[in-house]
Amino acid sequence: IKIGIPAETVPGERRLPVVPEVVRKYQDLGAQVLMQPGAGLPAHFRDDAFAGVAFAADAAALYAEADVLLCVQPPAPEYLAALKPGSVLLGMLQPWADAERVKLLQEKRITAFALELLPRITRSQSMDALSSQAAVAGYECALIAADHSPKFFPMLTYAAGTIRPAKVLVIGAGVAGLQAIATARRIGAMVEAYDVRPETREQVESLGARFVDTGVSAAGSGGYARELTDEEKAQQAERLAKAVAQCDALITTAAIPGKKAPRIVTADMIARMKPGAVVVDMAAESGGNVEGTVPGEKMWINDVLVIGPTHIASRMPVHASEMYARNLFNFISPFIQDGALALDWEDEVMAGCCLTHAGELRHAGVRQVLG
Ligand code: NAD
């Protein structure tokens, strides 16, 4: 088989779905790797770093020739239309975002695997791209907060006394939030954190942060959170407002799969923050946890800086690509033998990740959302 690696088409996306080490592993399985020239450049991988790879004349040739196309974000429609009928597409395909895209994949009879649909069981952890990329994003958000804060994060002792450490509040303690907590702690901040899933308390405390108790629990299915009722939201808001008012930096990472990010921090809460406080809303691109955040913008609201970073994982494309490339390899490699692809529909992880196959929209959850 030919594994195709295109240049990403979304502006600002700098990651790629292979790194040289992982290309070698595909070659060891007997697969050929075909790349679009320059596909690795945004992540600082030059074409000559990929030994034994064939380079397609252009994007159109690459899409038409690949048996398995790996991507980070969904390719633009004109490229999807150029895919070989019956070929496999694997990446973070944003399955809930665009019914037209799903229809196109059905029409072209593409076997599309969206890593967002990965069943989160123990065996699939090494394939979990949402987790690996969330870890990158959480780390970055803590650095963005530190970089924009007018205060030191760590305690600092100098000849004339001691500077108190900054107070950081992290809302949402999933994979990204926990990495933001760990990073802020490593830089020396005092960290508080909150999540609606009560089991996160222990994880937060094990990182040396304090858990903010609001008395609201929203453990949902599959390890994810459920949406809160209006009453629960009011209770959460009241208790959180105090913690928000006291912090120097607020990092929000709350998400509900397939839904708009929950709005947790109101304009009124921002108005009561300390002058010079920084807010980093990691959920800005998916609707925002903070009222008033604009994706891709930094805004002063009174004397509080509200940041809505976008393409966060692309801020460190080398390691984000390395982590992502390994996730993809661990997903697809069990089905590549002697250079041939043999999918196993009895495999619950593979089948669970399938968005479209043989002209059908296979995933029940996505079918429900797209109608
Ligand atoms: P996510 O990105 O969907 O959400 C981020 C966090 O936001 C979650 O912790 C969620 O509880 C929280 N949240 C949602 N609504 C909120 C609200 N109103 N207020 C405050 N917080 C809110 O989640 P994720 O980080 O991808 O994963 C969530 C959990 O799933 C992980 O922490 C882990 O326990 C589990 N998980 C399991 C596996 C596995 O077993 N293979 C892999 C990855 C994650």
Positive/negative CA dihedral, 139, 318, 15, 108: negative
**Looking at residue 316, what is its pLDDT?**
97
pLDDT tens digits, 240-285: 999 999 999 999 999 888 789 999 999 999 999 999 999 999 999 9
Q: Is the minimum distance from the CB of 233 to ligand 1 under 6 angstroms?
A: no
Tell me: pLDDT of 222 over 80.
no
**Looking at residue 221, what is its pLDDT?**
66
pLDDT tens digits, 97-146: 999 999 999 999 999 999 999 999 999 999 999 999 999 999 999 999 99
224 is catalytic: yes
Tell me: pLDDT of 346 over 90.
yes
Mention every residue, 6+ apart, whose C-beta is less than 8 A from residue 353: 113, 114, 115, 117, 118, 119, 331
Q: Measure the CA angle with vertex 122, ends 172 and 29; round to 5°.
A: 120
- As a residue count, the chain comes to 371
Distance between CA atoms of residues 44 and 36, nearest Å:
15
Distance between CA atoms of residues 151 and 138, nearest Å:
20
The residues pairing with 278 across neighbouring beta strands, listed in sequence order, are 249, 305
The number of C-alpha atoms within 13 Å of 144 and in the hemisphere containing its C-beta is: 29
Q: Please compute Rg for the chain using Cα positions.
A: 22
Interface predicted TM-score of the whole assembly (ipTM), two decimals: 0.94
Tell me: pLDDT of 12 over 80.
yes
Among 116, 214, 224, 250, residue to substitute to test ligand 1 (most atoms within 8 Å of Cβ):
224
Query: Nearest C-alpha to atom 1 of ligand 1 is from which residue?
Result: 255
Query: Nearest C-alpha to atom 20 of ligand 1 is from which residue?
Result: 195
Tell me: pLDDT of 52 over 80.
yes
The active-site residue, picked from 94, 125, 337, 368, is 125
Distance between CA atoms of residues 203 and 178, nearest Å:
8
The active-site residue, picked from 14, 26, 106, 128, is 128
**Looking at residue 220, what is its pLDDT?**
67
Share of the chain above pLDDT 90, in %: 89
Index of the ligand 1 atom closest to the CA of residue 130: 26
**Looking at residue 225, what is its pLDDT?**
75
128 is catalytic: yes
Distance between CA atoms of residues 178 and 134, nearest Å:
10
Q: Is the minimum distance from the CB of 255 to ligand 1 under 6 angstroms?
A: yes
The active-site residue, picked from 24, 120, 201, 226, is 120
Share of the chain above pLDDT 70, in %: 99
The active-site residue, picked from 24, 27, 32, 224, is 224
Query: Nearest C-alpha to atom 7 of ligand 1 is from which residue?
Result: 254
213 is catalytic: no
Q: Is the minimum distance from the CB of 132 to ligand 1 under 6 angstroms?
A: no
Mention every residue, 6+ apart, whose C-beta is less than 8 A from residue 366: 95, 96, 102, 117, 258, 355
Tell me: pLDDT of 219 over 90.
no
CA of 197 to the centre of ligand 1 (A): 8
Structure tokens at 303: 């004397």
